Amino acid sequence: MNKYLDIKDEVKQALKEGKPVVALESTIISHGMPYPKNVETALRVEQTIRENGAVPATIAIIGGRLKVGLTAEDLEYFGKKGPAITKVSRRDIALVAARNQDGATTVAATMIIAAMAGIKVFATGGIGGVHRGAEKTMDISADLDEFVKTPMIVVCAGAKAILDLNLTMEYLETKGVPVFCYKTNELPAFYTKSSGISAPNRADSAQEIADAFNAQQSLGLGGGLLVANPIPDEYSMDPLRINGAIEQALDEMEKAGIHGKETTPYLLDKIQKLTGGESLESNIMLVLNNAKLAAEIASSL
């Protein structure tokens, strides 16, 4: 057992008995939504996973300990402390652990810690990717490279809509990452059902995704698999409205000189304000939708 790793008893028992387990990230709690909506959502996501036959394992770093499975008290702590908690990706894990600090895990960090515990499925909102203007800034999320290194099925609603989705897909293709779009022939665009980008692969069942992942691992190809699950119709936003808000938020961010790991939290907050909270509601519903599919995939494995 990794000396820095603490696995919640419920999760440890489920893994021991071969029951389905779904990992969840903690950045969405601390940096993705305001309090108390963030805690309410975290609890709803965990409950959705339970209702669909799996055990939730929200992942975070608390006092230097890599936590696989949080208590209600832990979730409340993260929700209240919010952006004051360090946002942690691969490069940050060891330092935060060594300094006995708290860390909110991004997609990449969640994949790493979940894999340490033996978890194979992870549900999130949207993955990081290639940022707009990356040909100048080289701002590319570490999430994308993690798919090459870590064996994990990640269920999302596509890459976050604030990103350059075409370049993100090109990057994943270059890295050889399998991408499946669930019951659709077009890549979803987080807040909206479609980006207009053709799906690399279509999957019509959780079992099909599980089988593809098992084949990938059996063939010794390693790495992860990305599942893009469209937001439900009733919560899909008007493309003109959300894209207008994104463009305005990007313009204001550039004027404010915000960059690096502060980019995504700033944009998500600005967009939810510009849309009168509509984008936040869509964000919550797509995460719940992803949790349901992730539980089904974990059961199929």
- Report the alpha-carbon distance of residue 25 to residue 162 in Å, rounded: 19
- Report the alpha-carbon distance of residue 212 to residue 225 in Å, rounded: 9
Average pLDDT of the chain is: 93
Band (258; pLDDT cuts 50, 70, 90):
confident
Catalytic annotation present for 160:
yes
Selected catalytic residue, list 8, 12, 25, 296: 25
Band (220; pLDDT cuts 50, 70, 90):
very high
Domains of the chain as residue ranges with CATH: 5-300 (3.40.1790.10)
For every residue of 64-121, DSSP letters joined together read TEEEES--HHHHHHHHHHGGGSEEE-GGGHHHHHHTT--EEE-HHHHHHHHHHHT--E
- % the chain with pLDDT above 70: 100
Torsion of CA 153, 157, 158, 162, to 10 degrees: -140
Strand duo 179-182 + 225-228: pairing: parallel
Q: Report whether pLDDT(121) > 90.
A: yes
Band (131; pLDDT cuts 50, 70, 90):
confident
In the chain, the amino acid numbered 241 is: R
Output the pLDDT for position 221.
Answer: 95
Output the pLDDT for position 1.
Answer: 54
Selected catalytic residue, list 12, 37, 67, 160: 160
Catalytic annotation present for 255:
no
Average pLDDT over residues 37-65: 97
Q: How many Cα atoms within 13 Å fall on the side-chain side of residue 140? A: 14
144 close to 128: Cβ distance less than 8 angstroms:
yes
232 close to 289: Cβ distance less than 8 angstroms:
yes
